[in-house]
């Protein structure tokens, strides 16, 4: 448990929110800190969003100061974070610690930074307990089954919505045949299934092939063989590490550059594409330093690709993106005046058990340049308060920032609609059913310009629409 209370006046109404995330990897190092920077960034984004809302700072999300339901709203988010230990059991235990085992600050809403398979489990428990589960990364379409998960919402669209948008984009460009190269995991398979379904809906021919982790097969060649060489519109559901080998497979068979169009899902980030800019790109320079002869071919092939993110943003090497407000703000905090001061002014300490994290105020995450686990019981004050490297930004930080904003705006909207009948002190199943019945529809019937773009929800499923 990391206590990370956001300062606010004692007279304010308090909504207890819990963040469930990975602090330790109990698969590998039980009771030791998982110091990977990706979970830390998402945790920081949640806290930062709560911080901005509590201060009523509308410099990043204008709706905090412009919506009528914000007038007179004194609700503040009281944020605590719990370790899931990177296991299913850990996620369930963290949920219990955040709710029934936390009598002082029982969470009414949980932001779950966990995989879709674990989110479905928590969302079903939330159905029983009348607890809202919010996510910025769980994309499984199963979570749209409202009978099973009536109190689940997310600031990231489901896989089918994003894949359908990608297919529709290619259709609008005049293509009637598409090929999908995808990672052979839950995310990749779900995205591929959504794309195939969308292609059927739009009467396009679709072919797919998985990218195996050992690169023992050539999925691009397989799709070309199956389609008699007629595919030149491609969807790549791959990671940044896969980008170079996939292009090396595509170029010799004429599936990159020229008349081909590649659309990548949101695991391909700005840095992955800009890294192949001729002259200034880091990946391009590394390629040349290694003596490879195809560096220019890869750079040319990637110069026309698109990245369509779950937020609807598109980015090319030639510049221009619909998703840049969060990126600019994230990298623009050079003086650390807001971000560093807020998140790193206190020392974080481990308790004797190594799996509970206690702070006497705001949390401090620190990175000393290594990824070695810190032994339990370590006083984190011995590490420099340098936080972590923000040079690489993924879209999921923006999604989790927007989770906190969605909760705050939704709570104020529920208060304006229900007045004093909206009780933040609700307890027990009957009271929670009334409370959640007021808060959930308010949270899913708002629109705001978040850091991941314009955030609009499907009021039937609670999922964001692309």
What pLDDT is stored for residue 46 in this prediction?
Answer: 83
What pLDDT is stored for residue 200 in this prediction?
Answer: 95
Distance between CA atoms of 234 and 200, rounded to whole angstroms? 16
- CB neighbour list of residue 451: distance below 8 Å, 6 or more residues apart: 60, 61, 325, 326, 329, 398, 401, 402
Distance between CA atoms of 138 and 218, rounded to whole angstroms? 29
The DSSP output letter for 382 is G
Distance between CA atoms of 435 and 423, rounded to whole angstroms? 7
Distance between CA atoms of 101 and 93, rounded to whole angstroms? 9
Smallest Cα–Cα separation from 218: which of 250, 192, 242? 250
C-alpha separations of 340 from 49, 61, 345, 388, 408 in Å: 14, 20, 8, 10, 22
What pLDDT is stored for residue 39 in this prediction?
Answer: 63
Q: Whole-model pTM?
A: 0.69
What backbone phi and psi angles, to 5 degrees, belong to 268? -90, 120
* Burial track 25-55 (b if 16+ CB lie within 10 A, e otherwise): bbeebebbbbbebebbbbbbbbbbbbbbbbb
> Which mean pLDDT values do the consecutive 10-residue runs of the chain (466 residues) have?
43 84 55 46 78 85 93 89 78 89 88 87 96 93 92 90 84 92 86 92 95 82 95 91 91 90 81 83 90 90 73 40 45 42 34 32 32 37 35 68 95 97 94 97 95 86 89
């Amino acid at each position: 448990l990391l206590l990370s209370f956001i300062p606010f006046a004692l007279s304010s109404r308090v909504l207890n929110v819990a963040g469930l995330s990975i602090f330790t990897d109990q698969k590998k190092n039980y009771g030791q800190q998982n110091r990977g920077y990706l979970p830390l960034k998402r945790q920081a984004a949640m806290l930062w969003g709560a911080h901005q809302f509590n201060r009523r700072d509308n410099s990043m999300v204008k709706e905090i100061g412009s919506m009528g339901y914000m007038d007179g709203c004194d609700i503040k988010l009281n944020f605590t974070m719990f370790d899931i230990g990177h296991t299913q059991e850990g996620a369930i235990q963290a949920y219990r610690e955040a709710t029934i085992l936390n009598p002082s600050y029982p969470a009414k809403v949980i932001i779950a930074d966990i995989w879709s398979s674990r989110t479905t489990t928590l969302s079903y428990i939330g159905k029983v307990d009348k607890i809202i589960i919010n996510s910025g990364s769980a994309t499984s379409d199963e979570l749209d089954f409202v009978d099973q998960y009536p109190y689940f919402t997310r600031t990231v669209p489901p896989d089918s919505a994003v894949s359908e948008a990608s297919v529709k984009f290619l259709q609008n460009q005049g293509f009637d045949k598409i090929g999908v190269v995808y990672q052979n995991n839950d995310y990749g398979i779900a995205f591929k299934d959504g794309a195939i379904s969308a292609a059927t809906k739009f009467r396009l021919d679709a072919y797919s092939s998985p990218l195996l982790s050992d690169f023992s097969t050539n999925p691009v060649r397989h799709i070309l063989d199956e389609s008699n060489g007629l595919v030149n519109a491609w969807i790549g559901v791959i990671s940044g590490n896969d980008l170079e080998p996939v292009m090396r497979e595509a170029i010799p068979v004429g599936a990159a550059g020229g008349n081909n169009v590649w659309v990548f899902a949101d695991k391909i980030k700005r840095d992955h594409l800009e890294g192949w800019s001729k002259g200034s790109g880091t990946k391009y320079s590394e390629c040349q330093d290694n003596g490879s002869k195809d560096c220019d071919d890869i750079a040319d092939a990637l110069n026309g690709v698109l990245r369509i993110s779950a937020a609807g943003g598109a980015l090319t090497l030639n510049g221009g993106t619909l998703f840049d407000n969060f990126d600019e703000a994230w990298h623009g905090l050079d003086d650390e005046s807001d971000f560093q001061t807020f998140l790193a002014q206190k020392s974080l300490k481990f308790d004797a058990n190594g799996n509970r994290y206690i702070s006497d105020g705001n949390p401090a995450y620190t990175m000393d340049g290594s990824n070695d686990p810190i032994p339990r019981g370590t006083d984190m004050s011995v590490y420099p308060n340098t936080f972590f490297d923000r040079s690489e930004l993924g879209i999921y930080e923006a999604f989790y920032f927007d989770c906190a904003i969605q909760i705050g705006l939704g709570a104020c909207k529920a208060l304006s609609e229900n007045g004093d009948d909206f009780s933040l002190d609700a307890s027990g199943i009957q009271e929670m059913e009334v409370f959640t019945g007021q808060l959930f529809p308010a949270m899913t019937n708002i629109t705001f310009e978040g850091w991941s773009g314009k955030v609009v929800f499907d009021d039937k499923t609670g999922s964001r629409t692309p």
